[in-house]
Structure 1
């Protein structure tokens, strides 16, 4: 990894250490939206630093990943009480139960069919929820796979990481399933994103960034720090992705030709998790110790 190129890296405190900023996304209102996983809240952060917090009906529900929905609201998973949450830009909240008990929903994304698709970590299922709250589930033909993060692919299918199965999964909206084992044993993929051409994912246990074409061809890019524990990834453009290093306390950038650059975060051991491209074109990462980091490329 090339040394830090001294970009503009700033941090903003958004919560106390016990709140746990985890997921982050850019909303349709020009603000950033975060899950505060330890305190059961959703937070809204404007680009000029104005912060609003919206407590959920169950403080222990552990909101995890958050994404914009096709209806202009933000949708998020509640991994502890097994529900899918919804919040409007005005802060109005609702939630919907997942049919299979103990599912542990985690990843969520807007699909190509005007619905939301999510992973059920504990029950090896991919779920679909309409904006009216109707949920259907697709059981996976693999067991103890631990589906984690999910993204809509450029081919109109849903792509997701199978953390314990060490593979990438693909599911069409019609229910056809594909499985792509990873070359590195025990890589434990987590985050995944589409750059409009291919899918990028992170291997938290192996310290790699991976790329998979819609035809299933996989390329892996080892990070210089095997203990970096890359966690989340977001595409900035075709062939350019940014990722968080949970163990390395960095935000990194990777290109399709394998160039990797890392940027240290100011606060030691800040535990970066989710990452998104903000409305201002900068990269924003959620720091579980209570802040967000802004990296201007």
Structure 2
């Protein structure tokens, strides 16, 4: 199913906060329990922390080439993250104490991670066709997918006591229950290559199709709606949903941030720095939306007139 929308231009204020040099690569970010932004530096092997208005701090991991990617709040008051190139799951307290846990399968490439309704963290293994689960004590369980070469990517907790994830190379959205039962939902568009996924305020899931230039929405019973972007080459990468139910997404290939409201209104905003490579996106502790720019900054997007 494809849904049309009308495009409007709304005035927003975008402020970039430099947190690293261009070689370190802020990749993903989230709001921590300490009301700070926590972010991964994928190329320098660090976890960063930014309180809006203050100087950022950075915490080195065991290996500078471990490739920290997605980061999420855990159920234990710490932040949990994946180390894509080191096959590890990491944990950092708000005080900066780091623990790292090996995933049993070498070369599995953990990428997405999110807290589940069972008090554990669930993650994707991009190169092993598995969904992993790690307890706050570091015990790992793995669940094989019913397809091969699927490249499971982002993952989020749904409102139905299950985890939902994208299968980038299998062109599908997956669901895994707390009992390990897996259901796959094929996308209507061929070779759409879904990446980011987020839970909506209405119980549905929003996702982005990086190769098709579309947003998607899937209900818990598997009904899928796709929203083509005006620029089908924009390479949408990540998505989040704000308190009003608006989906915000990064256009990695077009240097823009976009929004899609519940009534189908789409808006796109150019980022001030050319070729800034927006990747992760999240609602910040101040209620504004923030995105990680791989060229070295976190950008804050808010209605014009709201203080930065």
TM-score, structure 1 normalization: 0.98
Which residue of structure 1 lines up, in the alignment, with residue 43 of structure 2?
38
1:283 to 2:289 alignment: yes
* Aligned residue in 2 for 1:221: 227
Q: Pairwise CA RMSD of aligned residues?
A: 1.0
Q: Does the alignment pair 1:203 with 2:202? A: no
Match of 2:101 among 90, 96, 104: 96
Secondary structure (helix, strand or coil) at the match of 2:292 reads strand
Q: 2:84 aligns with which of 67, 79, 86?
A: 79
Q: Which moved more, 1:16-25 or 1:3-12?
A: 3-12
Structure 2 unaligned regions, length at least 5: 1-5, 304-308
Question: Where in structure 1 do 4 or more consecutive aligned residues deviate above 6 Å?
Answer: none
Task: Name whichever of 71-80 and 255-264 sits farther off.
Answer: 255-264
Residue 23 (1) aligns with residue 31 (2): no
The alpha-carbon deviation at position 99 of structure 1 amounts to: 1.0
Shift, 1:239, TM fit: 3.7
Aligned to 1:163: 168
Contact 1:4 1:264 survives alignment (8 Å): no
Q: What is the CA–CA distance in structure 1 between the aligned matches of 2:78 and 2:27, rounded to whole Å?
A: 19
Residues in 1 aligned to 2:208 and 2:243: alpha-carbon distance in whole angstroms: 17
Query: 1:89 and 1:287 mapped to 2: Cα distance?
Result: 23
Shift of 1:238: 5.9
Q: Distance in 2 between matches of 1:216 and 1:3?
A: 30
Q: Aligned equivalents of 1:204 and 1:237: distance in 2?
A: 24
CA contact (8 A) 2:8 2:266 kept: no
Residues 8 and 265 of structure 2 are in contact (CA less than 8 Å); yes or no, is this contact kept in structure 1? Answer: no
The answer (yes or no) to whether the contact 1:240–1:253 under 8 Å persists in 2 is yes
Residue pairs, 1:112-151, within 5 angstroms: 112-151=117-156
SS at match of 2:64: coil
In structure 1, C-alpha distance between the alignment counterparts of 2:190 and 2:243, rounded to whole Å? 29
Within 2, Cα distance between the matches of 1:258 and 1:162? 25
1:108 to 105, 110, 113: 113
In the TM superposition, residue 48 of structure 1 has moved relative to its aligned partner by 1.2
Secondary structure of the 1:237 match is coil
Q: Secondary structure at the match of 1:96?
A: strand
What is the match of residue 241 of structure 1?
247
Of 107-116 and 49-58, more deviation after overlay is shown by 49-58
Q: 1:195: how far off?
A: 1.4
CA distance in 2, matches of 1:278, 1:214: 27
Instruction: Map Cα deviations across residues 85-119 of structure 1 (whole Å, 9 max, x no partner).
Output: 00000100010011111100000000000100000
Which of 184, 188, 196 is the aligned partner of 1:191? 196
Structure 1 stretches lacking a partner, 5+ long: none
Sort the Cα spacing of 1:239 and 1:31 in 2 relative to 1 into closer, same or farther, 3 A.
closer
What do the CA deviations read for 1:205-238 (whole angstroms, capped 9, x no partner)? 0000000000100000010001110000001136
- Alpha-carbon deviation of 1:255? 1.8
Instruction: Tell me whether 1:273 sits opposite 2:279 in the alignment.
Output: yes
Matches within 5 A, 1:172-191: 172-191=177-196
Following the alignment from structure 2 to structure 1, what is the Cα–Cα distance between the partners of residues 80 and 54?
22
SS of corresponding position for 2:211: coil
